[in-house]
Chains A and B, each alone.
Chain A
Amino acid sequence: MKLVFDRPRALADVQTHYCPGCTHGIIHRLVAEAIDELDIAERTVGVAPVGCAVLAYNYFNLDFQEAAHGRAPAVATGIKRALPENVVFTYQGDGDLASIGTAEIVHAANRGEAITVVYVNNAIYGMTGGQMAPTTLPDQKTSTSPYGRDVSSAGYPIRMAEMLSTLVAPQYIARVAVNSPANIQRAKRAIKKAFEIQVKNKGFALVEVLSTCPTNWGLSPEKALRWLEDNMIPYYPLGDFKVPKEVE
């Protein structure tokens, strides 16, 4: 019998700590599939964030560094500049990348660092128990916005993909979602493209992945997928924001 579906080699055969219904597992798999297909595992170094994916280094069969909160793009810069022939990627959540680490991501992107950034946006701080994130939607209730996010005080959710696409140096910036099989296929293509761009030494690539947090949203996994579709995608439109001509 022909084997048609297996665990990617770049993904470790271990149980993760992610909550039931959380889409981190899907995104991990997409990253591992892309690394396998490009056959780059032996020269790839990942950088884990602080947040739910803090233990990502346990889930990939890859060399990994764990960065301080928000500093992954700076750590990745150090690795890539030391080992320019290697493939370096960061895997960061929205608190890590869009709040405490905004300076690091903006300047890594602005320098055109040849790194790949997988940016997982689930509109909430998951690891610390569901506090308001810079990406939390207007009126969305969290443990630190119990009356709903008040935009007159907390401002509006940050659209990182759009903001970073105003910079000259980045080669590829896209937003995808993992709430349906069709969107997962698109997410896979975008993540693979973001690695391909680095392999071809074209510079900075970032994929923002809209993700669910059933536990802290207080929804069942199935309802969380629908909530993402109904609430997040209208505010965070999917698509490519920056594509290099030769890769288009």
Chain B
Amino acid sequence: MSEKLLMKGNEALGEAALQAGCQLYFAYPITPQSELPEYLSRRMPELGRVFLQAESEIAAINMVYGAAGAGARVMTSSSSPGISLKQEGLSYIAAAQLPCVIVNMSRGGPGLGSIQPAQSDYLQATKGGGHGDYHLIVLAPASAQEIVDLTILAFDLADQYRTPVMIMGDGLLGQMMEPVLFPDRTNVELPEKPWATTGRKGDRPKNIIHSLELQSERLEAHNQKLQEKYADIAATQKRSDEYLTEDADVVLVAFGTVARICRSAIDMAREKGIKAGLFRPISLWPFPDEALARLAEKERVFLSVEMNCGQMVDDIKLAVDCRRPVHFFGRVGGIVPSPEEVLAEIEKIMAGRCDA
């Protein structure tokens, strides 16, 4: 596929997963991501691949565990309440070092919340979510094209590090239609997985996928191995994007949908003579702290704009080492902030800059 196609974010994600070689997809219906299972329920059988609607979110993530352990490229998707149900499985998958891709088209919470877009699963996604010391790689696209690019990257990173990778979108990104271009993937070779449980042939030692370590020393050693892997990921896989930050007096920090709104607000601010810029984390974990720290070398203020109650603020404060003021503006409950609201916040901060 090389021509531009007009697609919904959810559908673009499904097609990108196919291009990435996703062989199995397991999921349970939930709004606002149902276009994704609907799309794959049509496309997977066309390609002779597996689409299976699971009986529950819990079953779906455990099917992912089984298929990933068997060496296949596999994906599941859901939205916030469903992602909460998957946390047990994610902990086991991270512990057993199984590569897979999990999509969260997140919606308003807590509880059943709403079906409108939100970013209130930031802490769950980046700080663990399930039990034990582990991380997911979390990638946050801001357009349909970036959904395509990051989904393909997610499968590659999952295999490279034998770790679960989450695509963190929101209801708006999933529903919005935009033109997308798919890369040529015809000659891509998938990596060998000699550790997979495919049946013990000949003299090969048996392969066991597990997370139980009853001996404390062995469990500690396993944890240290995982931490070394996370350190390696943190050293090499931080991703971010910047817009007009060079001369900015105020740097907005936002990811996903909100980052696009912030760009509009920044353009409006610039017209009014306010030097505003945008720092956009693309990898939420590992958080792109070094790039943000470089921005903090100059005297300027930061404004985190999120569709939650400020879940990213701590990460920003840590990144700038509390050297610069970090403000917060957020809307929740499924409300998407308008560029005018963000602009008003920028103006308020710049007017009272001495107080910050």
Contacts and interface: CB of A to CB of B under 8 A. Distances in A.
Contact of B200 (A63, A74, A107): A63
A242 interface: no
B227 interface: no
A74 B206 contact: no
Interface string B27-66: 0000000000000000000000010101110111011111
A73 to B, nearest CB: 8
Interface in B252-275: none
B197 A79 contact: yes
B88 interface: yes
Given A68-B62, A83-B198, A78 B70 contact: yes
Interface string B87-107: 011001000100000000000
B348 to A, nearest CB: 49
B197 A45 contact: yes
Contact of A45 (B58, B65, B70, B96): B70
A74 B68 contact: no
Contacts of A62: 200, 206
Nearest to B70: A82
A215 interface: no
A71 B57 CA distance: 12
A61 B208 contact: no
Give the size range of B's interface with the partner.
35 or more
Contact of B210 (A57, A60, A76): A57
A45 B64 CA distance: 16
Contacts of A117: none
Contacts of A104: 55, 58-59, 62
Nearest to A64: B208
Nearest to A80: B66
Contacts, number: 131
A65 B270 CA distance: 57
A47 B212 contact: no
A41 interface: yes
Interface string A132-154: 00000000000000000000000
Contact of A103 (B59, B70, B206, B209): B59
B321 to A, nearest CB: 40
A42 interface: yes
B206 A61 contact: yes
B211 to A, nearest CB: 7
B331 to A, nearest CB: 37
Given A42-B200, A43-B199, A82 B210 contact: no
Contacts of A42: 199-202
Given A82-B67, A107-B55, A107-B59, A64 B201 contact: no
Nearest to B200: A63
A68 B198 contact: no
A81 B50 contact: yes
Interface in A87-122: 103-104, 106-107
A52 interface: no
Given A64-B209, A74-B54, 6 more contacts: A45-B198, A67-B66, A74-B59, A81-B67, A82-B67, A82-B71
Instruction: Identify the 7 closest CB pairs spanning chains A and B, nearest first.
Output: A78-B66, A74-B62, A107-B55, A66-B210, A78-B67, A78-B63, A75-B66
11 contacts: A61-B200, A67-B66, A77-B52, A78-B26, A78-B70, A80-B66, A81-B24, A82-B23, A83-B70, A86-B198, A104-B58
Interface of B: 23-24, 26, 50, 52, 54-56, 58-60, 62-72, 74, 88-89, 92, 96, 197-202, 206-212
